[in-house]
Structure 1
């Protein structure tokens, strides 16, 4: 499916955001917004958003954040700050939702957010910051604190980018692959980022939450989703065996089954 571009205000300028609607004809069904990982994009999701929406009979929106995919690239001299995920959740996403008429009382209604890795963290920040604007969230391998395991694995990804064909493989999904990679990698390995911590925000979550973690995740431990449950007791936990950092690829079927049940449990019988 062809992507579209929309302009939004961000950081005192106008930027382009790549997006795709999925099954827009199902206008009365829940809308699921997919938030990609730290090296993701619209195309990096592959078929999962479409298959997920078909499984639950949902509408979907997939988009590439600033610096990723076909969205406006990050200038190479621009360094992300430790609050980069907060800015995406509190500034860029509301601007995008305004531009696409998403939200309470708007054409597309209140969304469900399904976020992976950094996208899961952004979903948590957005839902805690705008509790009346989100129907619920599903977070796959989210980060709420920076663990030593995460830093070691991200340092290993840096070496792979420099020494293997990882750069070439990622380049298929980004207009400026170096913009996407170094923006993410540099801030995660910045010593200042070690103090990043979402736990003070989590008690602000009011919506239903499904938090998913693979037992073999090389970027985070079960402490991440258990921490969400500690601060937001309405959270349902899903721990998946034989699953690494990408539950939607490693355990797609059990994830889809649980996530569809989760959404449907909190959704009225819309046709």
Structure 2
């Protein structure tokens, strides 16, 4: 897929969009807190081909090949804001039949989007998303920050984010490690999710317990299923790509055939 920059209300975002399948939904991929379109590697293309669905992959503002974010400072509702930007992007591209696939922060943004813009969302796949803050999450962020300060992680991230690396690391770690963010919780939005939901999580996820899964699927209004993968951490689509691909294919095929 060829990439391009699109202007969404003044925010210049990098997108890769394949809409070659007529009258089929678009799977929209939402990356994690240090992720980018490129870091999904060939997973979106494989799922697109398997499902015969269109696919949109994009970098949120500040990430990958999108323009920089204006400041690293974030409010508690920063993921709700990202959901609004995604809705504007969908409007800009005239996409209104969407299957969301979000990982980590992207999974949370997917849940929020499904709750706020249900008219566009056919289904949601949430992988390792969060609906509230846990001690294990805070520890995971602290460990990641230490790795950033003591290993070659900055150089590895620079390959994807260029000179924006320090900004995105500060943006992510400072809000999640702040006292004010401990109260962040989006459970109140879950009842507004009426489309089908698949929640994928590794049993050994270092950023969240299975409470995230159970409390999500028990509170949505639509059908919901969980897919827990034993001995797998926070990135199932990278750790067991074929397992996640096959489960996502099964879920999407069932949605489309209804």
TM-score normalised over the length of structure 2:
0.96
Aligned to 1:247: 236
The alpha carbon displacement at 1:196 in A equals: 0.6
SS at match of 2:207: coil
1:161 aligns with 2:157: no
Q: Which runs of 4+ in 1 moved over 6 A?
A: none
Counterpart-to-counterpart distance in 2, 1:59 and 1:135 = 13
Contact conserved, 1:39 with 1:181, CA < 8 A, in 2? yes
1:140 aligns with 2:127: yes
Aligned to 1:68: 63
Q: Please state which structure has a larger fraction of its residues in helix.
A: 2
Deviations along 1:220-267, whole A, 9 cap, x unmatched? 111111111110262111000121100101121121111111111111
Counterpart-to-counterpart distance in 1, 2:93 and 2:237 = 26
SS at match of 2:6: strand
Counterpart-to-counterpart distance in 2, 1:137 and 1:74 = 27
Counterpart-to-counterpart distance in 2, 1:132 and 1:94 = 11
Contact conserved, 2:72 with 2:167, CA < 8 A, in 1? no
Aligned to 2:5: 5
Aligned to 1:19: 15
TM-score normalised over the length of structure 1:
0.91
Counterpart-to-counterpart distance in 1, 2:174 and 2:72 = 11
SS at match of 1:231: coil
Counterpart-to-counterpart distance in 2, 1:155 and 1:32 = 32
The alpha carbon displacement at 1:198 in A equals: 1.1
Structure 2: gaps (5+ residues): none
Counterpart-to-counterpart distance in 2, 1:130 and 1:95 = 11
Aligned to 2:212: 224
Aligned to 1:106: none
Counterpart-to-counterpart distance in 2, 1:149 and 1:18 = 32
Contact conserved, 1:123 with 1:137, CA < 8 A, in 2? yes
Deviations along 1:184-214, whole A, 9 cap, x unmatched? 1111111111111011110111000000110
The alpha carbon displacement at 1:30 in A equals: 2.3
The alpha carbon displacement at 1:46 in A equals: 1.1
The alpha carbon displacement at 1:78 in A equals: 4.3
Aligned to 1:266: 255
The alpha carbon displacement at 1:28 in A equals: 2.6
* Cα separation, partners in 2 of 1:216 and 1:165, compared to 1, 3 Å: same
1:123 aligns with 2:106: no
Count of equivalent residues: 256
Counterpart-to-counterpart distance in 2, 1:232 and 1:260 = 22
Contact conserved, 1:73 with 1:180, CA < 8 A, in 2? no
Contact conserved, 1:210 with 1:236, CA < 8 A, in 2? yes
SS at match of 2:193: coil
Q: CA RMSD in A?
A: 1.3
